[in-house]
Amino acid sequence: MAQITLLKAKLEDAEQLTSLMKKTFDEEARTWLGRVDSHIVDYNIQPPGYDSLHTTRYMIEEHTYYKIMEDGQLVGGIILTFTGSRFGRVDRIFIAPLYQGRGFGSEVIRLVETAHPTVTTWELETSPRQKGNLHFYEKMGYKRTFETEDEVCYIKRFRGNEIAVENEFESCNLEGATFYQTNLANSAFGNSTLAGAHFSNINLSSSKFQNINFRDTLIADLNFSGSRVKHVEMSGVEFRDITIENAPVSFERCELMGTRFNHCKMGNVEISDCDISGMKIDGVSVEELLEVYRMVKK
Amino acid at 278: G
What is the residue range of 72's domain?
A: 4-157
Tell me whether residue 43 is in a domain: yes
Max mean pLDDT range (73-87, 182-196, 212-226, 241-255): 73-87
CATH number, domain containing residue 56 = 3.40.630.30
Tell me whether residue 44 is in a domain: yes
Tell me whether residue 150 is in a domain: yes
Indicate the average pLDDT of the chain. 85
What's the gap between Cα 32 and its chain centre?
Answer: 23
- Spatial separation of the C-alpha atoms in residues 46 and 22, rounded to whole Å: 9
Tell me whether residue 90 is in a domain: yes
Q: What is the pTM of this model?
A: 0.77
Tell me whether residue 56 is in a domain: yes
Count up the domains in the chain and report the number.
Answer: 1
- Spatial separation of the C-alpha atoms in residues 55 and 231, rounded to whole Å: 7
Tell me whether residue 27 is in a domain: yes
On the CB side of 51, CA atoms within 13 Å amount to 12
Mean pLDDT over 85-89 rounds to: 90
Using one digit for the tens of pLDDT, what is the confidence trace for 3-58? 899 999 999 999 999 999 999 999 999 999 988 888 888 889 999 889 999 999 99
Tell me whether residue 229 is in a domain: no
Tell me whether residue 116 is in a domain: yes
- ∠ CA 11-15-16, nearest 5°, is 105
Distances (CA, A) of 15 to 98, 251, 259: 19, 22, 31
